[in-house]
A and B are shown apart, each in its own frame.
Chain A
Amino acid sequence: MAEETEKIIVTIDSELSGLIPGYLINRRSDIEKVSAALDSGELEAIRAIGHQLKGSGGGYGFDFITNTGTAIERGAKEKNYEEIRRHIAALGDYLDRLEMVYD
């Protein structure tokens, strides 16, 4: 249990500090969108979100988000709903535990 609440510290370029809150709010929104798309079977919408996560995360300093996006995009292409659910849950957990340090 102690591990689950442990913070994930990510160092971010201070020049990007103004963009980070908005970026993270959008990721919460992505989690909701993917969950809804899973229920309605809209795999193309899921793939597109995964693709955008893959393309944006690392640029802000969140390599985990890029890796998650890659996995979600792949899961959508392979119609692997379980895999998508697992990564969405992991993303939620990552955002919960995330703590930024600006340099």
Chain B
Amino acid sequence: MSILIVEDSEDTSLLLNRFLEKMGYNNVLLAGSAEEAIDIIGLSKKGGTVNKDIELILMDIDLPGLDGIRACQKLKSDLWYKDIPIIMLTAGTSDISLEDAFKAGAIDYIVKPVKMLELCARIGSALGLKQEMDRRKASERELETLARQLKEANRILTNLSYIDGLTGVANRRYFDEYSGQEWKKAFREHSFISVIIVDIDYFKQFNDTDGHPAGDECLRLVAGALSDALRRPGDFIARYGGEEFVSILPNTTLDGAAIIGETMRTNVCGLNIRFAQSKTTTVSIGIAGTIPGKSKTIQWLISEAGRALHTAKKSGKNQVKVF
């Protein structure tokens, strides 16, 4: 790491360099003007590489050309140099220029002629403060990283607790939570809400003949086909248990729900999943819908959809029934 001296008086510059050498700072850069300093630092050209080796700057206020105050402002506007301590050197103690120096971002000032003892104390203090600030910033960055990681871990855990591990759609727990919220919302808004229950036909036979791994694959494919039938952001599908799926459709009339139910059915047929050598996997679907009222509950609506599903099963399967 190095220290940059920005001083137009060669005599003062040489003296400071000698003092710094005596203090153990052997890597000292000298600039005779602010412009030269900006060049050394790498800020003279846009997009240039910034010299990140400099850990402290000693800069005369009274420089020819760009003065020390304006040079300090320029350096402090750089993302890297805003944290590099700048100690101003002044041969006068004009309150105005010192006030300007602090406003420009200087951390301290030394009145010339510079004495070694004072220089040593001021530099030690500035570098100590910078090290403390760097340490705190590193701690803050570490905490921010940990907070981000924790947030992400929580997000993953939340997702895991709401997602059915086999099919990737929402699980029963999430459905119970979501359907309750949507029911209340429909109640408040006096809007129609529909529920679709889907059951895979002959699924027990599927597992018995083709085995559970094939049955699991069937569940995954059916879940995807059912999800594909949903078009609006509020539409929601979950695995209800076993080979049953349930969907809640806010702001959807029975006619609209029937169209979606039929799309689900044809999507599953389109998968052409074969089992027991010749049979094709189909689904039976029951639909119910209502505008929520005080005498009704979401559980009632789900049981109505269940009744419709039962009718579809009794009527020969692979069909949609609406209650």
Contact = CB atoms under 8 A, between A and B. Distances in A.
Interface of A: 13, 15-16, 19, 22-23, 26, 51-52, 54-60, 66
Given A16-B18, A54-B112, A66-B113, A59 B12 contact: yes
Nearest to A63: B113
Given A15-B18, A16-B18, A54-B91, A23 B113 contact: no
Contacts, number: 48
A58 B113 contact: yes
B115 A26 contact: no
B11 A52 contact: yes
Contact of A52 (B12, B18, B115): B12
Nearest to B8: A52
17 contacts: A16-B18, A19-B14, A22-B14, A51-B62, A52-B9, A54-B112, A55-B112, A56-B9, A56-B112, A57-B113, A58-B113, A58-B115, A59-B15, A59-B113, A59-B114, A59-B115, A66-B113
Contact of A59 (B10, B22, B62, B112): B112
B188 to A, nearest CB: 78
B115 A16 contact: no
Contact of B15 (A51, A54, A60, A66): A60
Interface of B: 9-12, 14-15, 18, 22, 62, 89, 91, 112-116
B113 A56 contact: yes
Given A16-B15, A60-B113, 11 more contacts: A16-B18, A19-B15, A26-B11, A51-B91, A54-B91, A54-B112, A55-B91, A55-B113, A56-B9, A56-B11, A60-B15
A58 B116 CA distance: 11
A54 B111 CA distance: 11
Nearest 4 pairs of A and B residues by beta carbon: A58-B113, A55-B112, A55-B91, A59-B113
A51 B94 CA distance: 14
B11 A23 contact: yes
Contacts of A13: 116
Contacts of A56: 9, 11-12, 15, 112-113
A34 to B, nearest CB: 15
B170 to A, nearest CB: 76
Given A51-B91, A52-B12, A55-B91, A19 B113 contact: no
Contacts of A66: 113
Nearest to A51: B91
A52 B9 CA distance: 6
Nearest to B12: A56
Nearest to A57: B113
A66 B11 CA distance: 13
Contacts of B62: 51
A55 B12 contact: yes
A44 to B, nearest CB: 11
A23 B13 CA distance: 12
B93 to A, nearest CB: 12
